[in-house]
Amino acid sequence: MKIIDVLHKDAIQTDLKATDKKGILEELVGPVATIAQVDAEELVRVLLERERLGSTGIGGGIGIPHGKLKRLDNLVLGFGISRQGVDFESMDGRPTHIFFVLVTPENSTGLHLRLLARISKILKNDILKERLMSADDPEQILRLIQEEDVDF
């Protein structure tokens, strides 16, 4: 499964305004909760519980908050950019700018892990990260991700 297959244009936010972890999660979750038809507060709670196990700020300006919900039928993926950067308790201690938020059904561990790995893989490309940071609309972000998310 490719990222582009599950990333909804409506769940792409190009200018996150929050200045802390909880605020970023609340902002990211809005469109994702709508698409998944789940309660946004419950989804934020699930993501914060996952964050307590260890930050999903992987460093290099990247955060991939993720969680599982029992009542979810299909996985949902969202994307956001924080232009100013946020303290997301990243492994490298630096601000986080680029976020993917992934929510999967509780029984989909394999799919969950494969998609996390795929996201991590494409975000190792510093040129892609720079291009994402300068993108200003969801269509452009989808194109950039599609160009990078290829099978070998």
Residues catalogued as catalytic: 66
**Distance between CA 20 and CA 120 in Å, rounded?**
22
Element (H, E) at 26: helix 21-36
- The length of the chain is 152
Residue 34 neighbours by CB under 8 Å, 6+ apart: 10, 40
Within 10 angstroms of residue 29's Cβ, the number of other Cβ atoms is 28
- Closest by CA to 45, choosing from 24, 64, 26, is 26
